[in-house]
């Protein structure tokens, strides 16, 4: 069918364009970051307090841009060649320990309590550890970001039938019901997050879903606006469907 062929070609061109733009942005961004570091270190002369403030703002925005570029590259790579993963048996307890260690400084700085109850020793999944850790850290970081000071983020894991369910629950701002269905689309952001000017690219959940589904799993999202959200990563127990061993 000609229309299907044209749509497929347009989608391919879009993917190629995003990959090209992302790669081309990396070089000037690397230069910006390098010279910024030299300025902060005083290599070009003494830096005043006011200039330090301005340089700090530039640095934060350069970091955000770098994150956006890396997210785009990851998504495009998955779309073009699928999830490239090396599966190994991993204890879920070890996964969550690594994730919480990464998240703790961010949670503490935000005044959010991070809770991870003991996980059974025999709960094991066969996954690409780096990829799944990336997905869980992404979910955890989102949970912290959308949870006001004094709130909680809880990470749990359990076996249910032939699946392992890893949950990230928060007491944050929640997600409007009308936004839930589109939440893992590229660049889509919930209306209340945008209204509250909470920074983000709208790519995080798209990456999480791609990683989880690449492992033969499922991302389940439940939320009540104003009460909090629960993100569940459902994976086969000690089996990585769709992931080469």
Q: Provide the CATH topology of domain 88-236.
A: Heat Shock Protein 90 (3.30.565)
Total count of residues recorded for the chain? 245
* The model's pTM: 0.73
Residue 216's region, left for phi above 0, alpha for psi from -120 to 50, else beta, is left
Q: Which residues make beta-bridge pairs with 126? A: 89
- What pLDDT is stored for residue 71 in this prediction? 78
What does the alpha-carbon distance between residue 28 and residue 8 come to, in Å, rounded to a whole number?
32
| C-alpha count within 13 angstroms, C-beta hemisphere, residue 50 | 0
- List the chain residues with pLDDT less than 70: 13-15, 17-19, 22-23, 80-83, 187, 194, 196-201, 238-245
Q: Which residue has the tokens 């629950």?
A: 169
- What pLDDT is stored for residue 148 in this prediction? 94
Give the pLDDT confidence of 190-240 residue by residue, as tens digits: 877 767 656 666 778 888 998 999 888 999 999 999 999 999 999 987 644
- What pLDDT is stored for residue 163 in this prediction? 92
- What pLDDT is stored for residue 239 in this prediction? 45
- What pLDDT is stored for residue 245 in this prediction? 45
Could you tell me the residue ranges of all domains in the chain?
Answer: 2-81, 88-236
CATH architecture observed for domain 2-81: Orthogonal Bundle (1.10)
Alpha-carbon 211 to chain mean position? 10
Alpha-carbon 108 to chain mean position? 19
- What pLDDT is stored for residue 190 in this prediction? 81
Question: Residues near 212 by Cβ (< 8 Å), separated by ≥ 6?
Answer: 135, 218, 219, 233, 234, 235
What does the alpha-carbon distance between residue 162 and residue 5 come to, in Å, rounded to a whole number?
39
């Amino acid at each position: 069918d000609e229309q299907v062929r044209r749509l497929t070609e347009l989608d391919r061109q879009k993917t190629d364009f995003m990959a090209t733009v992302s790669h081309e942005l990396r070089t000037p961004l690397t230069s910006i970051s390098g010279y910024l570091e030299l300025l902060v270190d005083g290599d070009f002369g003494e830096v005043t307090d006011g200039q330090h403030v301005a340089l700090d703002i530039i640095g934060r925005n350069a970091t955000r841009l770098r994150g956006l570029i890396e997210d785009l590259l990851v998504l495009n790579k998955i779309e073009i060649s699928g999830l490239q993963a090396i599966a190994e048996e991993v204890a879920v307890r070890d996964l969550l320990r690594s994730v919480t260690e990464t998240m703790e400084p961010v949670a503490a700085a935000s005044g959010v309590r991070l809770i991870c109850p003991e996980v059974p020793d025999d709960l094991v999944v066969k996954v690409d550890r780096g990829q799944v850790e990336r997905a869980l850290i992404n979910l955890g970081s989102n949970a912290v970001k959308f949870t006001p000071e004094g709130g909680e983020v809880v990470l749990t894991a359990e076996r249910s039938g032939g699946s392992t369910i890893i949950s990230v629950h928060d007491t944050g701002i929640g997600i409007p019901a009308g936004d839930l269905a589109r939440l893992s689309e590229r660049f889509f952001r919930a209306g209340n997050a945008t209204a509250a000017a909470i920074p983000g690219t709208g790519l995080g959940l798209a990456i999480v879903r791609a990683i989880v589904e690449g492992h033969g799993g499922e991302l389940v999202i439940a939320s009540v606006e104003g009460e909090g959200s629960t993100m569940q990563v459902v994976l086969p127990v000690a089996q990585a469907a769709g992931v080469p061993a």
